A and B are shown apart, each in its own frame.
Chain A
């Protein structure tokens, strides 16, 4: 079966691109390896958070100052606003309700209680639009007894530093206590799986209602709603004070839910999602990629008119490095990376690291290059692209979604 487009990688960028194409009637297959970096996403998207160590207040404006090799510059700074709106709408259509504005970053609260600039944040999460106007004065920080993936002390201190009046309150319920019998079971995902019945949620709400005192707002670690937000809505209804969630250490339930909802939406649009498989190579003819071979379908190459590489950075194995070089492991595409191993990294773990800007080389249409030659029907999107820095610039999720949508447009208009 010949597809219109085959996408390699089923994370945020791959799914976004797949949805945009399927929505316009394309037959799309996504080859998805497994977990994506949404596992580390507490429920926010970043367009651009930081330039040269300075927090960005207006990302749309700041994007116009980026160098030419940044993926946003390749898309065209003047198109970013429109594509960002499309991304926000796509998320809403998938059932992911996020609030935010591309012209004004808000602040998300990290698991350590640190405020970081963000573009979109899940509506149930604690979000601060203006640091001088906090959404609540007194907050009750509900700490689940025996759950260590929320550094409660740091979170409470961080919130106090931001001006909240914080009361940290430890609680448990029978359901949670039974989970703790196994010493390694207290992860956000296992809590999310156990806190699903109305009775279990009622028991959590009872604790919150009896312990939260005179707080204006209740904060709970984000350990609910792995597949949809029904449990969160239910708990919010059962609590007699406003309830907001705070991101935890991985696994991040919120990010896993975003992944699930995007995948469901893609499938609903008729998309074909191959889980647990990955591209291992392909056949080229001239400046075209003819087909892609996957690990599980070694003798049945996937043919398509267009191909999209969305396999992520080193973390997701979209990029690889050995003793001698940085490379793209599926097609050995051209990469933008230093040849000298000494330059990949720097001493100082919190220093900007060169490797985080490495990625495959692309032309202005985000088409890949192999041995200096443009492959006209093979695009790259998301974290595998060079020229951006998810860690230091806070542009990872934005680049993933916006390059995905830009490439979908390129494919649809035959660029």
Chain B
């Protein structure tokens, strides 16, 4: 069977199918986790956010939340979360909220505002109410890679930079996909008994290629990353979900989001953040944690949620935020084609299970789903956790264990060169880069960033990107490519910096220009014009 889409859902489906003994190929047109998977808060919802408005989603969330703590603990930081009530909010809502959480099975403890200020000093001190819930922070890049790795360990094949150009359809049956290899421009056809469309918002186009209509409603959300971690717990507003009401600590930074705007399907590839979005995020973010007003913003980004209209409502008014799994044989009379969409990053595993169940039903496979119990690579029993690491690990090794869990053991560290730090903000070593290039399907610096966090820290890749580019040129025996890659990486960083280019972010931009253009002359060596926008 073939899975289209290398986000969390595709990766989770690939893992589940491989674990049930199916022969799996996953194809992704860009890099893994470039869509909505890599463009959200990195929040592991407790489900509390949906408790009042969508009890079903809330129950799904808390159940998946508990599962991910077990199977993906190297991707999760157990921060807990607060739902705060500010003077401008209605404190009555807190009661409704707590009752709804209880109905959904989510622990929700009302705590004193003073206690909230004590456990989370960054919180707006004017708060008048607080509820503690089991929210957490999760690294979606690491999570996706862990799923892909496990799928491969169980025989799946995965290809990034392979775009579906068309589906092979024969007598009302999908029999495979036509692929464009975007790295070398070649075309290839691959056949399979079932094709799963897990392409997120781009799934509408994949369905169109099969002659099937799915009405998707792209909901765009913009977010801001701040230069350091002001909060240690997730902070939410205790009110009906609205703009910019969640602040999540992620590794060394924190993220505020999101806005929510319905956008035309034609514009889903334009991820540029507007001035208006930045203004809203800042205004609301400061209400949650006042210190954000003086914290450097290092980046703005946006993602698109793949919301789907219910089939019984062609007007699109009743849009589901829940999981939608369509068997096109039943729905459209087209065999061998399944779409899995809707849902959230949080419920990727459950979506994978549902999609795999549908595939297995078609193929007569009766193997049970084990993904809820079997830990992902990196989170197996006995893997060192961040808390039990001692002094015998260097900064780089500790950071690598944090990122790769037990797989960090595969990183070469036997000589002084492998231990040398390339990225000092995030503690990425030469050995880790080697590991990523050789084992984690890294073709360029942006891929490397997603796998290792190189260049994601406070300095945003000012010097480490050149070091990493140079090393990758060496490992891949392609020096010219490394220069173009470096320029493309800086351009990708700039896309996120430009909407917030004032203060220290503008300073950093000028410094980067001074180093890479002024000192190094990179602009004379490469031409970015005409290069593809999305990496």
Task: Find out whether the CB atom of B517 lies under 8 angstroms from the CB atom of A391.
Answer: yes
Query: CB-CB < 8 A to B35: which residues of A?
Result: none
Task: Find out whether the CB atom of A355 lies under 8 angstroms from the CB atom of B521.
Answer: no
Task: Find out whether the CB atom of B502 lies under 8 angstroms from the CB atom of A341.
Answer: yes
Task: Find out whether the CB atom of B470 lies under 8 angstroms from the CB atom of A148.
Answer: yes
Closest to A396 in B: B518
Q: How many residues of A contact B (CB 8 A)?
A: 56
A353 at the interface (CB under 8 A from B): yes
Q: Nearest Cβ distance between residue A228 and chain B, in whole angstroms?
A: 22
C-alpha spacing A252/B520, complex, angstroms:
12
B517-535 with Cβ < 8 A to chain A:
517-526, 528
Task: Find out whether the CB atom of B420 lies under 8 angstroms from the CB atom of A114.
Answer: no
Query: CB-CB < 8 A to A321: which residues of B?
Result: 501-503, 506
Closest to B470 in A: A151
C-alpha spacing A116/B417, complex, angstroms:
32
Task: Find out whether the CB atom of A349 lies under 8 angstroms from the CB atom of B490.
Answer: yes
C-alpha spacing A247/B395, complex, angstroms:
29
A305-321 with Cβ < 8 A to chain B:
313-315, 317, 320-321
Closest to A394 in B: B518
A135 at the interface (CB under 8 A from B): no
A142 at the interface (CB under 8 A from B): no
Closest to A252 in B: B519
Query: CB-CB < 8 A to A145: which residues of B?
Result: 417
Q: Contact flags (1/0) for B89-125 with A, using CB distance below 8 Å? A: 0000000000000000000000000000000000000
Task: Find out whether the CB atom of A116 lies under 8 angstroms from the CB atom of B521.
Answer: yes
C-alpha spacing A315/B508, complex, angstroms:
7
A157 at the interface (CB under 8 A from B): yes
> Of the 9-residue stretches B162-170, B351-359, B444-452, B471-479, which lies at the interface with chain A?
B471-479
Query: CB-CB < 8 A to B416: which residues of A?
Result: 146, 177, 180-181
Task: Find out whether the CB atom of A153 lies under 8 angstroms from the CB atom of B474.
Answer: yes
Task: Find out whether the CB atom of A114 lies under 8 angstroms from the CB atom of B275.
Answer: no
Query: CB-CB < 8 A to A29: which residues of B?
Result: none
Closest to B462 in A: A250
Task: Using A249-B463, A341-B275 as known contacts, say yes or no to A154 and B470 having CB atoms under 8 A apart.
Answer: yes
Q: Nearest Cβ distance between residue A298 and chain B, in whole angstroms?
A: 22
B469 at the interface (CB under 8 A from A): yes
Task: Find out whether the CB atom of A350 lies under 8 angstroms from the CB atom of B421.
Answer: no
A105-160 with Cβ < 8 A to chain B:
110-112, 114-116, 145-146, 148-149, 151-154, 156-158
B435 at the interface (CB under 8 A from A): no
C-alpha spacing A347/B474, complex, angstroms:
30
Closest to B473 in A: A153
Task: Using A153-B470, A391-B517 as known contacts, say yes or no to A356 and B483 having CB atoms under 8 A apart.
Answer: no
Interface size class of B (residues with CB under 8 A): 35 or more
Task: Find out whether the CB atom of A183 lies under 8 angstroms from the CB atom of B396.
Answer: yes
Task: Find out whether the CB atom of A112 lies under 8 angstroms from the CB atom of B523.
Answer: no
Q: Contact flags (1/0) for B346-379 with A, using CB distance below 8 Å? A: 0000000000000000000000000000000000
C-alpha spacing A322/B487, complex, angstroms:
27
Chain B at the A interface: SS class: helix
Task: Find out whether the CB atom of A183 lies under 8 angstroms from the CB atom of B419.
Answer: yes
C-alpha spacing A320/B502, complex, angstroms:
8
Task: Find out whether the CB atom of A349 lies under 8 angstroms from the CB atom of B493.
Answer: yes
Q: Nearest Cβ distance between residue A160 and chain B, in whole angstroms?
A: 10
Query: CB-CB < 8 A to A112: which residues of B?
Result: 483, 520-522, 525
B465-522 with Cβ < 8 A to chain A:
466-467, 469-471, 473-474, 479-480, 482-483, 487, 490-491, 493-495, 498, 501-503, 506-507, 509-515, 517-522
Task: Using A116-B524, A320-B503 as known contacts, say yes or no to A313 and B498 having CB atoms under 8 A apart.
Answer: no
Q: Nearest Cβ distance between residue A233 and chain B, in whole angstroms?
A: 25
Task: Find out whether the CB atom of B521 lies under 8 angstroms from the CB atom of A249.
Answer: no
Query: CB-CB < 8 A to A146: which residues of B?
Result: 416-417, 420
Q: Nearest Cβ distance between residue B3 and chain A, in whole angstroms?
A: 33
Q: Nearest Cβ distance between residue B110 and chain A, in whole angstroms?
A: 36
B394 at the interface (CB under 8 A from A): yes
Q: Nearest Cβ distance between residue B418 and chain A, in whole angstroms?
A: 10
Task: Find out whether the CB atom of A184 lies under 8 angstroms from the CB atom of B421.
Answer: yes
C-alpha spacing A342/B499, complex, angstroms:
8
Q: Nearest Cβ distance between residue A124 and chain B, in whole angstroms?
A: 18
Q: Which of A37, A145, A156 has the most CB of B within 10 A?
A: A37
Query: CB-CB < 8 A to B339: which residues of A?
Result: none
Task: Find out whether the CB atom of B470 lies under 8 angstroms from the CB atom of A345.
Answer: no
C-alpha spacing A323/B275, complex, angstroms:
10
B37-55 with Cβ < 8 A to chain A:
none
Task: Find out whether the CB atom of A157 lies under 8 angstroms from the CB atom of B480.
Answer: yes
Task: Find out whether the CB atom of A40 lies under 8 angstroms from the CB atom of B519.
Answer: yes
Query: CB-CB < 8 A to B473: which residues of A?
Result: 151, 153-154
Q: Which of B463, B498, B518, B526 has the most CB of A within 10 A?
A: B518
Query: CB-CB < 8 A to A42: which residues of B?
Result: 519
Contact of A347 among B482, B498, B524 (CB under 8 A): B498
Query: CB-CB < 8 A to A152: which residues of B?
Result: 470, 474
Task: Find out whether the CB atom of A40 lies under 8 angstroms from the CB atom of B518.
Answer: yes
A390 at the interface (CB under 8 A from B): yes
Task: Find out whether the CB atom of B520 lies under 8 angstroms from the CB atom of A111.
Answer: yes
B182 at the interface (CB under 8 A from A): no
Query: CB-CB < 8 A to B394: which residues of A?
Result: 183
C-alpha spacing A154/B465, complex, angstroms:
14
Query: CB-CB < 8 A to A392: which residues of B?
Result: 517
Q: Nearest Cβ distance between residue B314 and chain A, in whole angstroms?
A: 38
Task: Using A114-B525, A342-B275, A344-B506 as known contacts, say yes or no to A250 and B463 having CB atoms under 8 A apart.
Answer: yes
Contact of B520 among A114, A322, A356 (CB under 8 A): A114
Task: Using A154-B483, A177-B416, A181-B416 as known contacts, say yes or no to A350 and B470 having CB atoms under 8 A apart.
Answer: no
Task: Find out whether the CB atom of A148 lies under 8 angstroms from the CB atom of B479.
Answer: no
Task: Find out whether the CB atom of B495 lies under 8 angstroms from the CB atom of A347.
Answer: yes
Query: CB-CB < 8 A to A286: which residues of B?
Result: none
C-alpha spacing A321/B512, complex, angstroms:
17
Task: Find out whether the CB atom of B501 lies under 8 angstroms from the CB atom of A344.
Answer: yes
Query: CB-CB < 8 A to A153: which residues of B?
Result: 470, 473-474, 479, 482
Q: Nearest Cβ distance between residue B465 and chain A, in whole angstroms?
A: 11
A348 at the interface (CB under 8 A from B): yes
B424 at the interface (CB under 8 A from A): yes
Q: Nearest Cβ distance between residue B533 and chain A, in whole angstroms?
A: 10
C-alpha spacing A350/B494, complex, angstroms:
10
Query: CB-CB < 8 A to A349: which residues of B?
Result: 487, 490-491, 493-494, 512-513, 528
Q: Nearest Cβ distance between residue B477 and chain A, in whole angstroms?
A: 9
B262 at the interface (CB under 8 A from A): no
B187 at the interface (CB under 8 A from A): no
B422 at the interface (CB under 8 A from A): yes
C-alpha spacing A344/B419, complex, angstroms:
41
- Nearest first, the 3 A-B pairs at minimum CB distance are A151-B470, A114-B521, A349-B494
Additional A-B contacts beyond A41-B519, A349-B494 (15; CB < 8 A): A40-B511, A40-B515, A114-B521, A148-B471, A151-B482, A154-B473, A154-B483, A183-B394, A183-B429, A184-B421, A249-B520, A321-B501, A349-B491, A350-B490, A353-B509
Q: Which residues of B contact A (CB under 8 A)?
A: 272, 275, 282, 394-396, 416-417, 419-422, 424, 429-430, 463, 466-467, 469-471, 473-474, 479-480, 482-483, 487, 490-491, 493-495, 498, 501-503, 506-507, 509-515, 517-526, 528
Query: Could you pull out 8 A-B pairs where Cβ atoms are within 8 angstroms?
Result: A114-B522, A153-B482, A249-B520, A315-B510, A321-B501, A345-B498, A348-B494, A355-B510
